[in-house]
Amino acid sequence: MPTAPHPGTALVTGASSGIGAAYADRLARRGHDLVLVARCPDRLEALAQRLSRATGRTVEYIAADLTDPDRLARVEALLRTDGRVTTLVNTAGLCAAAPLLETDAERLTAMIGLNVTALARLTHAAVPGLVRRGGGTVVNVACVTGIRPELLGGVYAATKAFVLAFSQSLRHELADRNIRVQAVCPGAVAPGTPPEHAPGEETAMTAGDLVDAALAGLDQGEFVTIPSLPDPRAWEEFEAARRRLTWADLSRRTPAARYGVGRAAA
């Protein structure tokens, strides 16, 4: 009986706990070898040993704080040069959900560095190799606040809006390159203490259920997966309304007539 082709190696950031650890577990059980990236070497080593024993897959790890330029560069170099990598899963993120006026500037900078800069740089490092090798997968974990920032507010929501917009742009750019791009938009996730301004644990989904839903969405060809959303038509209608705004609507030589300025007022 023919065997299924090896799905390659998945590099998962934020892999020592929560969503990242759940992705590592599920991808290993799907046959992927793994490179796990997170800050805590002890947790990474324990997870790598457990998954290797349980699944028989090769599991490597890199202890790296992705807000550290030198550590980030090490992971970028691996993504550029390691031909085994077929899948990049960007789950690493920092949540500081307080309003802007209550957010420490250093924490704000670190959050943007991890949620935006590191994610974009790792994707930039990985994609050229995926294109050369004929395909692959990029999964970016965003958040429902990237769609509705008013639900939580603060800079955190803006960083997750970047993840969603970046994924949309990437999907469009790579449409004919056999590369799947998925943006996963969870709500609250358990276990964990929700931020002060977030909804309570009664609305929180477990990381395992979230990742199972996200992978089912990936298998079904979804670009945006919102694991809690009961009716996908709500997202489809939202997206259709956004796409109705064409370049001709958004970029013209003159201001709209309603403003009464420029040539439109003549």
Q: What is the mean pLDDT of residues 17-37?
A: 98
| Residue pLDDT, tens place only, 221-246 | 999 999 999 999 999 999 999 999 99
| Residue pLDDT, tens place only, 113-155 | 999 999 999 999 999 999 999 999 999 999 999 999 988 767 9
Q: What is the pTM of this model?
A: 0.92
Is the peptide bond preceding residue 230 cis, with omega within 30 degrees of 0? no
Which structural domains are found in the chain, ordered by start?
9-229 (3.40.50.720), 231-266 (no CATH)
Q: How far apart are CA 50 and CA 44, in angstroms?
A: 10
DSSP secondary structure, 179-208, as one string: EEEEEE----EESSPPPTTS--GGGPEEHH
Active-site positions read 156
How many Cα atoms occupy the beta-carbon half-sphere of 248 within 13 Å?
1
Question: What per-residue confidence (pLDDT) applies to 193?
Answer: 42
CA 253 and chain centroid, separation? 36
Count CB-CB contacts under 10 A for residue 188.
Answer: 19
Q: How far apart are CA 77 and CA 94, in angstroms?
A: 23
